[in-house]
Amino acid sequence: MSAAIETFGLSKHFGDVVALDDLTLTVNEGEIFGFLGPNGAGKSTTLRLLLGLVRPTSGRAEIFGEDISRVRSVHKRLAYVPGDLSLWPKLTGQECLEFFGRLHGSADKKATGSRGGSIDEKFRDELVERFQLDPSKRARSYSKGNRQKVALVAAFATRADLLLLDEPTNGLDPLMEVEFRHVAKECTDRGQTLFLSSHILSEVEALCARVGILRAGRLVEIADVEALRELHGAELEIDFDGPVPVVSGVTGVKSVEATPVGVRVSLSGSPADLLNALAGERVTAIRSREASLEEVFLSYYGDRPADRPIDRSTDAR
């Protein structure tokens, strides 16, 4: 599988501040890769490095096999959505979109999604409707959410091979967040690659098969979302009609908490051994809840050291 993004020991220091430290990862073509971390973890610095806006202190990165130092060549194949976009206050939304189109490449009303810098104006008009953007208004009247819609429409309309998205739904209402997810999935159906930097875990969980977790500038995990959930287990609440059996010694059971009518079990891995142990018991109900990606993510911000990343991705190169 070809790589859309590869970084090799990529680091960035601002004086004594280490914003990014020895980042090494691969993002495959055609995937939505989630890049997780709280504010200040180094996500935006990574994107600025990939865009060539700042130079690395050490290490290097490639986009579709080209070194990021070749900014003009690399930028022809990517589009970028910042987390907060400033627009020209006197221009209308439509004028802003047209200007962004000219910055990326020549507009082509007949474009059907071919690569190489042209803007698909038909698709851009469709996106304006889908994101419920009024392009006739001047930018100074736009809310934060509407400015973000302009950024999303402009980026998606490029049909770029790679989209770098930095907190892309910042300011959007829930309905527009859902629409963003639909458009993002359509992009990967077309073979485009999305690098999604976010701290909105539900968004990443809904879109991404693989994630990287960044802590204090260091990558501490690369994993499939499903593998992360399995690694951190699930919770079962079991009700009984009668005596509550002892299950604390069953394989996979991490902890047991009593409830008024049974137990709440924290489970790691498969529940098969626990279910076998309960086969002869008078179980009246079992309720299961998988660990959310948020719970998985927060587990990396306790006492765990920010050491070398553990790669649990089945797609890792």
pLDDT for 303 = 53
Alpha helices in the chain (DSSP H): 43-50, 71-75, 93-104, 121-130, 144-156, 174-189, 201-207, 225-232, 272-277, 293-298
Cβ–Cβ < 8 Å for 151, 133: no
| pLDDT per residue as tens, the chain (317 positions) | 789 999 999 999 999 999 999 999 999 999 999 998 887 889 999 999 999 999 999 999 999 999 999 888 899 899 999 988 899 999 999 999 999 998 886 444 444 443 444 688 999 999 999 999 999 999 999 999 999 999 999 999 999 999 999 999 999 999 999 999 999 999 999 999 999 998 777 888 889 999 998 988 999 889 888 877 666 678 899 999 999 999 999 998 988 999 999 999 988 777 889 999 999 899 999 998 877 777 777 776 655 544 544 455 554 43
29 SS3 class = coil
pLDDT for 301 = 67
What's the first-to-final CA gap in the chain, in angstroms?
8
Domain residue ranges of the chain, discontinuous segments joined by +? 3-225+297-312, 234-290
Q: How many degrees, rounded to 5, is the angle at CA 5 between CA 220 and CA 223?
A: 35
DSSP secondary structure letters along 117-165: S-EEHHHHHHHHHHTT--TTSBGGG--HHHHHHHHHHHHHTTT-SEEEE
Q: Between the CA of residue 142 and those of 123, 166, 278, what are the distances in Å?
A: 22, 20, 59
pLDDT digits (tens, 9 = 90+) for 77-117: 999 999 888 999 999 999 999 999 988 864 444 444 434 44
Closest CA to 49 of 83, 20, 18, 73: 20
- For residue 66, what is the enclosing H or E element? strand 66-67
pLDDT for 86 = 92
Lookup: tokens for 68: 């990021």
Tell me the C-alpha distance between 94 and 109, whole Å.
Answer: 15
Cβ–Cβ < 8 Å for 157, 119: yes
Could you confirm whether domain 3-225+297-312 is CATH 2.170.270.10? no
Tell me the C-alpha distance between 155 and 92, whole Å.
Answer: 17
Q: Regarding beta strands 32-36 and 193-198, do their DSSP bridges make them parallel or antiparallel, or are they unpaired?
A: parallel
